[in-house]
Structure 1
Amino acid sequence: MYRVLQLLTADEVAECRRIAAAGSFVEGRISNPHNRAKQNLQLHDGQAYQRSASLLRDAMLRSAEFREFCFPAQLAPPLLTRYGPGMHYGMHADAAYLELPGGTLRSDISCTIFLSDLDSYDGGALHVRSGDQDIRFRLPPGQAILYPSTMLHEVEPVTRGERLVAITFIQSRVAEPAKRELLFELNEVAALEGLTMQPDNYARLQVVQANLQRLFGDQP
């Protein structure tokens, strides 16, 4: 149901850090004043936001594994977010729909891209609750965690240093996580084993792949 990906090069991580260092940040609740669980800072500089969002979006869409896991139809512009000592984001669920300049996005998949060195801060794990399991992520810079937006999650308090991340939301062509996972696994098997199969059987497998995408998908 979730996936860890390496998305950014070292140069791209460094550029995101430069943009963050030069940009202005504001209280994160500016985007949701009634959200008492949210205690962080977010980039509030139009030109800097445009540069970082473009860099991050390009990195995500060039990743074959990202495309194959998410089946992306729309992608919200990624937003740089900071957490200093004592800051956190309490347990919450992401909004089902986001209003963007180009229209409404349904949030099927949430994504956090980590940008800080792990030894530069303490705390700040992304804690995702999956049934009766608790999963925590603190990833090296350039790596991202993708997980269903339906899951309860929080950012645990930062106790030292600064946690810099980018967050975004993806509308998938396949809304249901279980169906996305089935398609992803089928496509992985086809990619790994397809060329060793008899051509007629491989063609039949490709028909199943395409027809399941038609059956499960709700976006072109």
Structure 2
Amino acid sequence: MYRILPLLTPTEVAECRKIAAASQFVDGRITNPHNKAKNNQQLHDQQASQRSSQLLLQAFQRSEEFREFAFPAVIAPPLLTKYGPGMHYGAHADAAFLNLGTHRIRSDISCTIFLSDPKDYDGGALHVRYGDADLRFKLNPGEAILYPSDTFHEVEKVTRGERLVAITFIQSQLKNPFERSLLFELNEVAALEGLKMDQENFSRLQLVQANLLRYWADKP
């Protein structure tokens, strides 16, 4: 359902913080003026946004764990956002489709990359509601949380300090979350146990993996 993964090096975290400290942020509702739940700030400097976005996309591209869990087809440019005391993002669902210039992507997986040290701010947990479960995430700098975009979630009010994160959305090759989870688990088992298997049986397992991706995926 969700995955926490190490994404950024300490040097990359420091660079993102440096970019944020030297750049202009504006009211987060600039991209959605009618969103009454949103109370945060987002980066509004095109050059700074491009620098931070490229850094973060490169981190995603080198992460094998990310590729194996998300089966990414398209990653939206990550955006730096921050929350000061009193700021929050009320319970909401992410949009099903996002406009990226001349094309649109489907939001299958939402992602928050934590950049502030959790000791430096109070509140500000990412709260994801999944059925009767209440999941809260407040991760270390450089860690990312991936979770389904169709879940109800919020950022709880910050009461002290500043919460700096980057957010992005992923369109997966596998639209169906059940199929995505099943293939991820199958791939994990194959990676962990494959070398212990008879070679012919392992090859048959690899054929099953490839065929499931071939028939389920809606993007190469």
After TM superposition, the score normalised by the length of structure 2 is 0.99
1:190 aligns with 2:172: no
Cα distance in 2, alignment partners of residues 60 and 139 from structure 1: 17
Residue 141 of structure 1 aligns to a residue in which SS?
coil
For 1:152 and 1:168, locate their aligned partners in 2 and report how far apart those are by CA, in whole Å.
16
Q: How many residues align?
A: 220
Per-residue CA deviations over 1:39-97 (Å, capped at 9, x if unaligned) read 00000000000000000011011100000000000000000000000000000000000
Partner of 1:99: 99
SS at match of 1:54: helix
CA distance in 2, matches of 1:64, 1:82: 28
Report whether the alignment pairs 1:45 with 2:35.
no
Deviations 1:130-177 (A, max 9, x none): 001100000000000000000000000000000000000000000111
Return structure 1 stretches of 4+ with deviation > 3 angstroms.
none
Unpaired runs of at least 5, structure 2: none
- The answer to whether structure 1 residue 146 and structure 2 residue 146 are counterparts is yes
Q: Which 5+ residue runs of structure 1 have no aligned equivalent?
A: none
Q: After TM superposition, give the deviation of residue 183 of structure 1 in Å.
A: 0.5
Shift of 1:102: 4.5
CA-to-aligned-CA distance 1:93-115 (integer Å, 9 cap, x gap): 00000000241110000000000
Q: Quick one: distance in 1 between partners of 2:178 and 2:162?
A: 35
Matches within 5 A, 1:53-68: 53-68=53-68
Partner-residue secondary structure (3-state), 2:21: helix
SS of the equivalent of 1:52 reads helix
Question: Counterpart of 2:134?
Answer: 134
Q: For the residues of structure 2 that align with 1:61 and 1:94, how far apart are their CA atoms?
A: 23
Q: TM-score, normalised by structure 1?
A: 0.99
| Identity rate, percent | 70
Partners of 2:61 and 2:188 lie apart in 1 by 18
C-alpha offsets along residues 9-67 of structure 1, whole Å, 9 cap, x if unaligned?
Answer: 00000000000000100000000000000000000000000000000011011100000
Give the aligned partner of residue 79 of structure 1: 79
Letter of the aligned partner of 1:4 in structure 2?
A: I
Secondary structure of 1:13's counterpart equals helix
2:173 match? 173
Alpha-carbon distance in 1 for matches of 2:98, 2:49: 18
RMSD, aligned CA: 0.6
Q: Tell me, what secondary structure is at the counterpart of 1:207?
A: helix
